[in-house]
Structure 1
């Protein structure tokens, strides 16, 4: 169900690009913006793992460095027939974790010192299963596609806003002025619509990773308990030195942002916990 929802959202985002591009810049303008945004996100797709790990000063660890974390990841990867990802630890007291990498064979999982102190073995296993589910579902690729299309829409909108304000459309006949005002309004609303869809895709992938991760470890209630504790921990101790542009990577939002649910990168915690409890009853 989540994969179908993601597909429909991506189709809506692509449709918005086509309609907006043709209305305001023609198919050629839309294609140029899409290619430009695609190049930027292609670079991000290939190097974002290194960038984000360096941003948070993550240190790669082996089986003898942090045996509790490493063994949990190793056992989950083996049990689910996945390549062993690189394991990193972030020296930060805020409890959180994320996965990154362009494919299962080029993946990394990272956990903060705070999460290792907070969670018990079963809860940590649930969290790492969630992160490996992101890797298995290739959510980095899905996020990159969504970001590419949303970025192209935003670029077209920026060009149209400048054209409407400083171009000839704001002068002359009332028809021209009306067209310019309409274009300007659409140029403001279209990026907002693209962002809404992009955030909906992010929330959908979190739900999918919760479900897949719970099935991978066989402990949906442990993951539900972990999410509740992490949510509370992250709110009382937000991540230091982070960038809110990376919030979608983490299992819970690491910042205290007051975003509404429509613009949130994560589903509400109540909904996530409720779905996991329902899954636990189904698996019993």
Structure 2
């Protein structure tokens, strides 16, 4: 039986960043709900029910929501023996419980992991990835995805992204509920202006925090996968292949996958400009290859 601790190398930097990000986002969440309760005093039960319901639904059903959005379906060892075999080998290396294994019928070469815990995890690859990668490269990608599961950063990202969802919904509620039409009610008139503005600011701050954390967790998963398998060059090769093949995928298919960029092994669209990189969910290919090259050099000296 796998232990509660995996064989992935601990990443204190990732842990520190996750704790810091969650603290800041939690603070924003308290401020957001506090503002809503102060301005919508008569509707505070509705605010709490909506906030609590959304949080539970997003956290508990995140794996199903993401899998459905990406068109993933679970497969048995008989249906996908190569994929299951690779997952089994990575789980044995990492001493982790085997996740549910899924396949997405898409020519876009990619993979993702989701789930609120190690026992509820799901790892999915696309048919395009299976066709293009060699066995060692596939194991490198799966080791990367399982690192997300081992570090529990899938659950952290799910929780972190919740505040942005809440802020957006609350803003829409304020705009479409007729709030502020009664100009004689000063509190209502103020709420009609403050809630959309506060929601926009909170959404932007939480968005930037989660993007920053997302970029670091990708580098951390690359490092953990490279050290676990001992083959950083295989992961680098997979990254190069996946990113290079993206240009051959129809734009309409990439657009469908873009909303889930934060979950993918490599983004459907990569950002070139410095400002775009600030909003990107992944580091650049050059950054990832550079880190893997350094790890390869370190392993060569051991």
Question: Normalising TM by the smaller chain, what interval?
Answer: 0.7 to 0.9
- Structure 1 residue 130 corresponds to structure 2 residue 144: yes
Q: Give the TM-score, by structure 2 length.
A: 0.77
2:125 to 111, 132, 135: 111
- Which segments of 5 or more consecutive residues in structure 2 lack a partner in the other structure? 1-12
Partners of 2:126 and 2:119 lie apart in 1 by: 23
1:220 to 229, 232, 236: 232
Partners of 2:189 and 2:59 lie apart in 1 by: 41
Q: CA deviation at 1:187?
A: 4.3
> Match of 2:113?
99
- Structure 1 residue 191 corresponds to structure 2 residue 203: yes
Checking the alignment, whether the CA contact within 8 Å between 1:164 and 1:184 is kept in structure 2 is no
Checking the alignment, whether the CA contact within 8 Å between 1:30 and 1:152 is kept in structure 2 is no
Partners of 2:59 and 2:121 lie apart in 1 by: 12
* CA spacing shift, 1:147–1:31, aligned 2, 3 Å: farther
- Cα RMSD over matched residues? 3.4
User: What pairs with 1:96-245 in structure 2 (closer than 5 Å)?
Assistant: 96-158=110-172, 166=180, 185-237=197-249, 239=253, 242-245=256-259
> Match of 1:5?
17
String of CA shifts for 1:92-111, please: whole Å, max 9, x gaps.
21111111222222222111
Normalized per residue, the structure richer in helix is: 1
> Match of 1:90?
104
- Which segments of 5 or more consecutive residues in structure 1 lack a partner in the other structure? none
Q: Give the TM-score, by structure 1 length.
A: 0.81
SS at match of 2:77: coil
Checking the alignment, whether the CA contact within 8 Å between 2:215 and 2:283 is kept in structure 1 is yes
SS at match of 1:166: coil
User: What pairs with 1:261-276 in structure 2 (closer than 5 Å)?
Assistant: 261-276=277-292
SS at match of 1:110: strand
Q: CA deviation at 1:263?
A: 1.8
The count of corresponding residues between Structure 1 and Structure 2 is 281
Partners of 1:269 and 1:150 lie apart in 2 by: 27
